[in-house]
Structure 1
Amino acid sequence: MRTLIATAALIALASPAFAHFQEILPSADVLPEGGKVTVDLVFTHPMERGPTMDMARPARVGVASEKGVEDITSTLTEVPVDGKQAWRFERDVAEPGAEILFVEPKPYWEPAENKYIVHYAKVVVDGYASGEGWDRLVGLPVEIAPLVRPTGLWTGNLFRGVVLKDGQPVPGAEIEVEWVNDGSVMPPNEAFITQVIKADDMGVFSYAMPKAGWWGFAALIDGPEAQSPDGKPAATELGALMWVKATDMGGAK
């Protein structure tokens, strides 16, 4: 159950805006013998364990592999989280190699920030622990190109990536980083909820993951000017999201 921890609840009263993250989290990042993986799509605030927002049925959900890009939107099942709309699908990974699972959500209107949010999120699942194909790009409008294999990572490993817009690096891009809190961590104050880093002049960023679990990297880029639901000028936030899992050596089997 995703509920606000006490500290986050106090922060929610003090701050009108949270770091939104489009989750696309599989039941495993590596399938050593292939098989099925369950993938959950939730629009939420991972470190604070909520609140969860209603997520409209995505514009597109797909898989990029050596065979190309496959649209699997029709396989979605609605699975509410905290009474809010969320989604799930299953994927049978039958062959060795990386499958890049991705979601293109419909724009989400955030009145507190007077903007639409569109977070293009992806995650890599490695079939048969092949270690192949993990750097394949989907070709999304905004996307993170990994410079480190994003599967089979130990806690403390350095994850590196390049922020791309229309296939080109974004110098100085700002990246927000959050951990999917399982309830074991209570941030001492608001500064610890969302980590913030900046890409260099080549769009490259790096971050050492200090705890086991899923980490979301959200590169935020200004999109085209839009109109709010009441017809007034509004902004658009494009997010290039990538999810990476870290595993403790001590708990590895």
Structure 2
Amino acid sequence: MCRHLAYLGPPRTLAELLLDPQHGLVEQSFAPRRQEHGRVNADGFGLGWWTGDRRPARYRRAVPVWADPNLEDLARNLSSGAVVGAVRDASTGSALGEAAAAPFDAGGILFSHNGSVEDWRDLPEQIDTGLGRSLPPGLEALSDSALMAAMVGARLADGRAVGDAVAAVVARIAAVRPEARMNLLAVGPDSIVATRWGDSLVYRRGEGRVWVASEPTDGDDDWREVPQYHLILATAAEAEVRPLPIETDRAA
């Protein structure tokens, strides 16, 4: 499994959002409180944020988040109103390395995956991925997460809204892998889309800002649970939680 977090609102430093909270991503990398699969997220990490030209920037490493000597200086000197952070516990059969660390580029949207899809390499032969009947050579990494990022990106390129694209990918995979764990996170400069399909997901809103995360970064009181098999669509001003339109025995 992995842990991830997204923020929209007035610009804040990446350190304030990801490093400073009592139970932020650094602590979640070695002592997650709600992670149901795996114990340590030490197979890499990544940060993503939007700059003034509304194009996302990324910083990804293959080392544990606590082992990067440059991270604190970087995070304290970068501010943004749209930020993503993720720490990784690599799935069996997925590549290691910086290219396999979230966030991925899904057609200009920052994408993260908390979960695991078994036998993901066989998916192009079993479902319509939107990418052809074999693994596309342009994947950022050989991993289930990178494949799903590319699937979302293909649907965005066809003109689908982000929420529809993310829900469609979950539906396609759930049809042949009902036991997959697919907490997906897709973040643009002014919107967050996230799914809960197999592990914890929470959100917090207030004063023109919103956080969506695998688990609370501080006290639990202000955070609300996203129900299992639901999707959240959020902006800095509002959040909507709705069931994923998927019919499987697991979601029934």
TM range (shorter): 0.3 to 0.5
TM-score, normalising length from structure 1? 0.32
Larger strand percent: 1
Structure with the higher helix share, 1 or 2: 2
Q: TM-score scaled by structure 2?
A: 0.32
Larger radius of gyration: 1
